[in-house]
Structure 1
Amino acid sequence: MNYILHLFLGLVAGILGTIPLGPVNLLVVNTSVSKNLRAAMVLASAASIMELIKPLLAIYFSWLITRHIQSNMYIQLTVVLAFVLIGLYFLLKRNTTHMAENNRREVPEFLKGVLISFLNIPALPFWILVVAYCESTVGFDFSISAVGIFLAGVFLGRYGTLWMYARLSQYISERSSFIALWLNRIIAVLFFVLAIIQAFRILGHYR
């Protein structure tokens, strides 16, 4: 029963942590529309696996995250810069012809998923809150087996939500020429918005 509870908690946390629009969702959407569902899910699987590191850190090293990572301006600025550069990439990508895209050697989707999940440092506070809530309300079991079940739930929740993002984006793009034509620019703007939000968080922290 305890394992079922931990699986359920991980599943819910994985879904709630993936529903808000973020860098991983945006790349999955772009890959699903510009390539295919299989490529998008390769990216999603890599991002979901990498995401497991964050709840692990929150479970065993939350004090270190709170003290060093969240308060380190250089790490936060690196995230802002990464989001800006990714936004610029998508903004300029719209001028690239299909012939050039086919001839250009691209980064494998799995590696893209690993990198974008690694850069998604702002997700760490969410996992600290999740673990703290579970510990204070339902009595989180920190045994290796229970943590493993919890992480399995996180993976399933995140992967399933990203799959729904990929399927929905394909459905919309097939019925909206505007979305298909302007997808790269839309994603670029959203990455710029994420960068601005993160920059305001930094300013608010150091004011």
Structure 2
Amino acid sequence: MNYFLPLILGFTAASIGVAPPGLLNMTAAKVSAVDGRNRALIFALGASVTVLFQTYVAVLFAKFIDRNPDVVILLQEVGLFIFIGLTGYFFWAGKKKKKTQAEELKIKSKTSRFFLGMLLSFLNLLPIPYYVFLSVWFSRKGWFFFNQSYIWLFVLGTVVGSFLMFYLYILFFKKRETTEPSFLMKNGNYIIGTVTGIISVVTLIKILKS
């Protein structure tokens, strides 16, 4: 058996899936711009841990979900309501008055970026049907088998690919040391809200087509 192939498949799938601007990578970029690279890497690590569990569950139940389209539709409907809520939250947060630096530092000291990454990644249900579809398609092509070795190598590849994409976003948005806030720092909530809004529209279109 070629155990290197599922690793490459998982890495490629995650890289393609995470590369476009989305909730997690844009939040990682915002954390990098506001709090610095180290905190952003902690956020990315937390998000990647959740990706591990999501991918494992998706692949483990891929055959069942593929044979029951209603399950995929249900996941899309749940994801739609979540992203609509997130869109409203981020636009509301963007309208709030800016906090003073002292207040901001106080809040940051009580916030775990690791668990924030895990939470946002958990709320993002889109990777589950994505990896279900890919794993079933790879299986039909004869590139992937539903045994534990292949599954865990595929999952490992997705985690590495996801973290690498988060890291690339983080590299482009370093923490600014000047007093003038960057565009991302001033409009980060609006940018993320726009992304979740687009995802909501795309998900709604998929549900209506189904």
TM range (shorter): 0.7 to 0.9
Structure 2 residue 31 is the aligned partner of structure 1 residue 31: yes
Deviation at 1:203, TM superposition (A): 5.7
Deviation at 1:199, TM superposition (A): 3.6
Partner AA of 2:128 in structure 1: L
Matches of 2:101 and 2:10, distance apart in 1: 41
Deviation at 1:206, TM superposition (A): 4.0
Change (3 A) 1:101 1:93: farther
Change (3 A) 1:204 1:70: closer
Between 1:185-194 and 1:100-109, the stretch displaced more is: 185-194
Matches of 1:61 and 1:23, distance apart in 2: 25
Matches of 2:171 and 2:79, distance apart in 1: 33
Count of aligned pairs = 202
Matches of 2:191 and 2:19, distance apart in 1: 15
When normalised by structure 2's length, the TM-score is 0.83
| Alignment of structure 1 residues 50-199 onto 2, 5 Å | 50-62=50-62, 63-64=64-65, 66-68=69-71, 70-71=73-74, 73-89=77-93, 91-92=94-95, 95-104=98-107, 105-170=109-174, 180-199=181-200
Between 1:8-17 and 1:188-197, the stretch displaced more is: 188-197
Higher helix share: 1
Unaligned runs of 5+ in 2: none
Change (3 A) 1:25 1:74: closer
Q: Is the 8 A contact 1:87 1:187 kept in 2?
A: no
Change (3 A) 1:106 1:184: farther
Partner AA of 1:147 in structure 2: I
Change (3 A) 1:41 1:74: closer
Q: Give percent identity, aligned residues only.
A: 20
Partner AA of 1:54 in structure 2: Q
Regions of 4+ moved over 3 Å:
62-66, 72-75
Unaligned runs of 5+ in 1: none
